[in-house]
Amino acid sequence: MSEFESKIPSAEVYNGITPGTVIASKAVITDANNKVNTLDITAPKIGGVAVTSTSAQINSLVNFPGTMATSAIDFNTTGEAGMKVTINGVDYQEADVAVVTNGVWTNGASAANSATSLVAAINGDTRATVPFTAFLSADGDSVILTWDAVGTAGNKTITTTSAANCTVENSIGGTVSATKQMVIVDRVVTAQDILAVEVNIPLPFAPTKFIIQHSDTNGESNPTTWRATIQTAPNRIRITGQGATALIAGDVVQVLAFE
């Protein structure tokens, strides 16, 4: 007899099991897609660490994927002969003949010519892995850079040796991915809010970003000059009376706030 032998479980272990679920003291059966759809765990652990959040808390979290950095390089006239644009320490230099694989571009006879050649030099650069993509703006005079990956690593320094012909800015807007809380609030403006000349919307966490809009009692958008700001102690969005177009009692303020 072989050293190993296979045993087929009794059919009883499968009794009462719905494919895709787990039943105590029973076999685990996946569904037709090899998935377990229903899993009821009393004390789950991840990597040996107990998960203490409630299901409601977990359901309140959203996955923020992060954002890519971006920047603009603008030619207000034909690029200067021999000028450089330096992105995170890497030089892209103008010359009489373009060699895109080495990041060399040519200025041509117009701002659009310069921008077009610089785009080709950035995208065609093979000296090292280029972590961003370049493309022309709609007017053809600017080079727009977008980083290929999310994260703060894309927030880089960009300089030029010809500020008179070409303006640049450091890339901005790169943020890391994270799991964060989110809340949506519909707040009806009251007569007391109007007397206080402010509307306060308390939140269960310290917000970093929010989107806000106002509507009237008919549900139609109602632009206002009142100003919304993030406040702490306690955490809230505060809307204060500013300008001529005011909120009125009965208006609804909708807030989407992110941790």
- Cα separations (Å) of 196 from 70, 97, 104? 41, 68, 62
Query: Sheet containing 209-215: which strands, arranged edge to edge?
Result: 61-64, 178-188, 252-258, 209-215
Q: Express each pLDDT in 150-176 by its tens digit.
A: 999 899 999 999 999 999 999 999 988
Parse the chain into domains and list their residue ranges. 70-167, 178-258
**What's the predicted TM-score (pTM) here?**
0.64
Q: How many CA atoms lie within 13 A of 26 on its CB side?
A: 17
Q: Which of 51-55, 172-176, 214-218 has the lowest mean pLDDT?
A: 51-55
Q: Express each pLDDT in 31-52 by its tens digit.
A: 666 665 666 666 777 777 777 7
H/E element, 118: helix 111-124
65: exposed, middle or buried (C-beta count within 10 Å: 0-12, 13-18, 19+)? exposed
pLDDT at 23 > cutoff 80: no
Q: How far is it, in rounded angstroms, from Cα 228 to Cα 203?
A: 14
Q: How far is it, in rounded angstroms, from Cα 235 to Cα 196?
A: 19
The CATH number given to 178-258 is 2.60.40
Q: Which residue has the tokens 């009806």?
A: 188
| Class for the domain spanning 70-167 | alpha beta
